[in-house]
Amino acid sequence: MAAEMEAAGVSPEDIAAFRAASDDDAEDEAVHVWPVNQRSFRVFTACRWRRVPVQGTDGLRLIYEGIDASEIASVCDLLSVPPAERATVLQGVRFAETVALPLLNRE
């Protein structure tokens, strides 16, 4: 996971802090979310992803393209995200999307 975080531009200090906060011995796949990212995480996990079918040599498969901006806006409304925080939430959702897309589309 550290390699993906580094590739996404996360600083070495933040990666070290994440590792310190994570329980590497845990059997489950618990997610540790810093308080500053709670609202973005809630919006990100509530959004539906846009997927398109792509014909490849091994048949048809769905490729994740991302999250529509209108989907993010709708979820912000449903979760009562204050207008003053929406730009920050959008930035957090787009960052999470950038990290998630390669993982979702790997074969």
Q: Contact 62/53 with Cβ under 8 angstroms?
A: yes
Name the helix (H) or strand (E) containing 54. Answer: strand 50-56
Domain that residue 17 falls in: 1-32
Assign 1 a pLDDT band (cuts: 50, 70, 90).
Answer: low
What's the number of domains the chain is made of? 2
Beta bridge partners, 54, equal 61
Which has more pLDDT, 16 or 24?
Answer: 16
CA distance linking residue 1 with residue 3, whole number of Å? 5
Domain check: are 50 and 102 in the same one? yes
pLDDT digits (tens, 9 = 90+) for 32-64: 888 999 999 999 999 999 999 888 888 888 889
Both 26 and 56 in one domain: the answer is: no
